[in-house]
Amino acid sequence: MIHEILRVGPLQCNCSIFGDEESREGLVVDPGDDVDQVLAVIRRHQLRIKVIVITHAHIDHIGGAQKLKQETGAPVYMNDNDAELKKMLGVQAAWLGVPEPQQVDIDVSIKDGDRVVMGAAELHVLHTPGHTQGSVSLWLPSEGKLVAGDTLFRDSVGRTDLPGGDARQILRSIHDKLLTLPPETVVIPGHGHNTTIGRERQFNPFLSL
Ligand SMILES: [Zn+2]
């Protein structure tokens, strides 16, 4: 499985590009910005992007989705509970002092238990609300990887002081849905360095029981 991680935009969101070597089918998670760089990776691997997944509707994760959708023709998947937040992209842009990106229509609403098929691989959708109400994490059991959006970070958890945030709920999501995954699972957070489920279970100061 091809997997490249690009840090996009001023907040350096981790954008994942996955590709199946056999079928050349690809999938992009969180194209927040710098779509030209994302497209360059897609071209270098000769991928046909089948799906664009948004982990949650914060501007740094969704900002480039419409441009990437136009360039690739791929449908955009997101959880419905972030629909209101998505309408607030102009407000979010003002907070950051950046131009408002194009609005993107969501083609498919994903929910807990859904599976997104890409080539020979399957991504399991885990609804992990708390950072936002529509936050999802994506588990790829065949790769031993978890794309965690802004729910779980190395040594930290997502902030819950923005609209839609809930501090108790994010801890419940992490304990119930993420820490129950195999400890060797590699976690790709929405920002910063990769970690593993086992490492966070042991050392994350926000998750001590
Ligand atoms: Zn966020």
Give per-residue pLDDT as tens, 191-202: 999 999 999 999
The mean pLDDT value for 16-20 works out to 97
- 131 CA to centre of ligand 1 in angstroms: 7
> 130 near 172, Cβ under 8 Å?
yes
Phi–psi pair at 91, nearest 5 degrees: -65, -45
- 56 CA to centre of ligand 1 in angstroms: 7
Reported as a pLDDT band with limits 50, 70 and 90, residue 208 is: confident
**What pLDDT does 209 receive?**
60
**End-to-end Cα distance, the chain:** 36
- 22 CA to centre of ligand 1 in angstroms: 33
- 35 CA to centre of ligand 1 in angstroms: 18
Reported as a pLDDT band with limits 50, 70 and 90, residue 120 is: confident
Neighbouring C-alpha atoms within 13 Å toward the C-beta of 166 = 14
- 36 CA to centre of ligand 1 in angstroms: 22
What letter does residue 190 receive in the DSSP assignment? S
**Residues of the chain above pLDDT 70, percent:** 100
- 23 CA to centre of ligand 1 in angstroms: 32
> 132 near 124, Cβ under 8 Å?
no
- 1 CA to centre of ligand 1 in angstroms: 27
pTM of the prediction? 0.97
- 44 CA to centre of ligand 1 in angstroms: 29
- 189 CA to centre of ligand 1 in angstroms: 11
Tell me how far CA of residue 108 lies from CA of 53, 84, 111, 129, 208, in angstroms. Answer: 9, 16, 10, 18, 36
**198 token code pair:** 């086992």
CA nearest neighbour of 17 among 44, 67, 112: 44
- 13 CA to centre of ligand 1 in angstroms: 9
**Lowest-pLDDT range of 60-64, 69-73, 93-97, 205-209:** 205-209
Residue 108, beta-bridge partner list: 77
